[in-house]
Structure 1
Amino acid sequence: MFKNNLLIKLGASTLVLSLASVFGTIIPTSLQAQETDSSTTIEDIEENPTAALGEEVTVRGQVEEVEPDMSFTINEEGFLEGDDVLVLNVSGEMLPEMPDEQLELQVTGELGEFVYADVNRLYGLDLDPDIYVDYENRPVIFAEALTLSPGIGDISDRPENFYGKEVAVEGEVGQIWSDTTFRLDEIQLIAGEDLLVVNLTGESIPSEEENIVVTGTVRPFVSAEFERDYDLTWDLDVQEQLEAEYSQKPVLVVDSIN
């Protein structure tokens, strides 16, 4: 549906322009920006687009290309229905490789109001006006970070697609084995897949049954390698249990928990 080389090539001088400058032009000064967090949804933005203008938001959803190498929409319900928000990739990076077009992407960036003339001028772009006419004065996310966001089942079913890649995964805290190690469960009524998580953030693990989003790198669980690479301080019982349950299965080594 979209190209893996989705990239806005901005010169260094353009990148110096802060998003604050953009918002100073395209956001009325009377608007009072409100703080948002990783729980912001696309539906929230669509229902109350002015509430978070000028603030950083993080949303997850499926993507559909709008203009090659320029932009895409992100949709919580899939390609055919539901709320969606326009995203302009100003990260200076390529989109993560998508092994399955139905997988979701996590997007983090400033939320603004799309005004074609201002965005085109401030970012030195050459956007097709006919394509963007339907987005005028609607919300837009100026994406500074783009992260593949598979479900736990996606990783469990095809781990080879994600080894060595950074991903953002949503789930529920399950069993906690140590200060650094816990299980992340799928959020659903019936028991589903789970994922072993190694916490390198230095922060305490949230309470069991708490819904969180963890960001990190997927790698296969080889006990000897984890002992070599990380100071996990597992006791013998925990180590033996983890080896029995997760040997050669995917593990998410996280550097961020929200």
Structure 2
Amino acid sequence: MMNTSDQNKSFAQKLWNAKGSIALALSVVLLSACNNNLEREAAVPETNVTAEEVADNTTQLIGKTVTVRSEPIKKIAPTTFTISDKQFFGSEPILVVNASGKLFALPGDSDTPVQVTGPVRKLVVADIEREYNLDLDPELYVEYENKPAIIAQAIALAPKPGEITTNPKQYYGKTLAVTGEVEDIRSASSFTLDEDKLLGGQDLLVIRAGTPKGTVNEGEKVAVTGVLRPFVVAELERDYDLTWDLTLQRKLEAEYSNKPVLVATEVYPSAIPQ
């Protein structure tokens, strides 16, 4: 029969073993979560952030490249315009300087957002002109001087899937940046983005040329950049390295012939809330 001292030692040993098992289990969970986070971070471009994240980390983002989606509110000059979002740098309009080397026409519909990718800078007109070989009229930017600006390396229209399928002609041949929920996975290289039910449009077909990088899951919110084309098999096969088989091609052609298809150059998890 154990005395009190032995019983205490036995209880302490059991407790220690239990704590050790709990600690080991927690370490496994935390390691697994860490690995999952690393995999997710590796899959998501570092620049793919929400406007809220940019707003909360303005100081830290100066000099870093970000991707932001917002509605343009005012054209300043052929290469500059402002965007505004209640969660993006407060409520102050942010100047976007187009340094991509490509002309970008702002959407006629002010409700259509744009996606802007580029470094965040404090605007010093003379420095921006020199570094990016631009000709900016200083008088137009007095109110933006020394305030945060995005020096855009890439700009794209960012309509919703339903807006595209409802009126595709205005988007044909243009590079788009579209976010939406994966609705119907047809193959490793094709899926649909859920349409906006309020608009009554159809789901948007997405096809990926070449060998797709990564996979998508049904219900996952993704961001897709690519060019919108009419679904014409002969033209798509001529212009892109498509990996579909004949059966899939025939099914898609029967369902989507001459309807819009987004030929994706990039697909990645979306940081933009839907």
Judge same fold: TM > 0.5, yes or no. Answer: yes
Tell whether the 8 Å contact from 2:114 to 2:158 is kept in structure 1 after alignment. yes
Q: C-alpha separation between the residues in 1 aligned to 2:152 and 2:226?
A: 19
Q: C-alpha separation between the residues in 2 aligned to 1:90 and 1:105?
A: 15
Question: Which residue pairs with 1:98 in the alignment?
Answer: 107
Greater shift in the superposed pair: 197-206 or 165-174:
197-206
Q: Which amino acid aligns with 2:230?
A: P
Secondary structure, counterpart of 2:101 in structure 1: coil
Match of 1:37 among 46, 51, 63: 46
Deviations 1:179-227 (CA, angstroms, capped at 9, x unpaired): 2111112478999641111112521332222211111111111345445
| Post-superposition offset of 1:135 | 2.5
Identity of aligned residues (%): 39
Q: C-alpha separation between the residues in 1 aligned to 2:221 and 2:121?
A: 28
Tell whether the 8 Å contact from 1:220 to 1:249 is kept in structure 2 after alignment. yes
Greater shift in the superposed pair: 100-109 or 212-221:
100-109
Taking a change above 3 Å as real, the CA distance of residues 184 and 98 of structure 1, as seen in their structure-2 partners, is: same
Secondary structure, counterpart of 2:243 in structure 1: coil
Greater shift in the superposed pair: 116-125 or 199-208:
116-125
Question: Which residue pairs with 2:225 in the alignment?
Answer: 215
Which structure: larger Rg? 2
Greater shift in the superposed pair: 240-249 or 51-60:
240-249
Taking a change above 3 Å as real, the CA distance of residues 85 and 188 of structure 1, as seen in their structure-2 partners, is: farther
Map 1:46-57 onto structure 2 (within 5 A). 46-57=55-66
Secondary structure, counterpart of 1:73 in structure 2: strand
Question: Which residue pairs with 1:254 in the alignment?
Answer: 264
Question: Which residue pairs with 1:234 in the alignment?
Answer: 245
Tell whether the 8 Å contact from 2:226 to 2:265 is kept in structure 1 after alignment. yes
Q: Which amino acid aligns with 2:244?
A: T
| Post-superposition offset of 1:51 | 2.0
Tell whether the 8 Å contact from 2:166 to 2:202 is kept in structure 1 after alignment. no
Q: C-alpha separation between the residues in 1 aligned to 2:91 and 2:202?
A: 26
Q: C-alpha separation between the residues in 2 aligned to 1:199 and 1:56?
A: 26
Map 1:169-248 onto structure 2 (within 5 A). 169-186=178-195, 193-200=202-209, 202=211, 203-227=213-237, 229=239, 230-234=241-245, 236=247, 238-248=248-258
Q: C-alpha separation between the residues in 1 aligned to 2:233 and 2:71?
A: 34
Secondary structure, counterpart of 1:177 in structure 2: strand
Question: Which residue pairs with 2:118 in the alignment?
Answer: 109
Q: C-alpha separation between the residues in 2 aligned to 1:204 and 1:116?
A: 41
Q: Which amino acid aligns with 2:193?
A: L
Question: Which residue pairs with 2:164 in the alignment?
Answer: 155
1:71 and 2:80 correspond = yes
Tell whether the 8 Å contact from 1:152 to 1:194 is kept in structure 2 after alignment. yes
Gaps of 5+ in 1: 1-34
Tell whether the 8 Å contact from 1:42 to 1:85 is kept in structure 2 after alignment. no
State the superposition RMSD in angstroms. Answer: 3.1
Aligned residues: 219
Question: Which residue pairs with 1:62 in the alignment?
Answer: 71
Q: Which amino acid aligns with 1:46?
A: A
Q: C-alpha separation between the residues in 2 aligned to 1:165 and 1:99?
A: 14
Deviations 1:232-254 (CA, angstroms, capped at 9, x unpaired): 33352x34432333222100111
Q: C-alpha separation between the residues in 2 aligned to 1:50 and 1:189?
A: 38
Q: Which amino acid aligns with 2:145?
A: E
Secondary structure, counterpart of 2:61 in structure 1: coil
| Post-superposition offset of 1:228 | 5.3
| Post-superposition offset of 1:57 | 0.9
With normalisation by structure 2, the TM-score equals 0.68
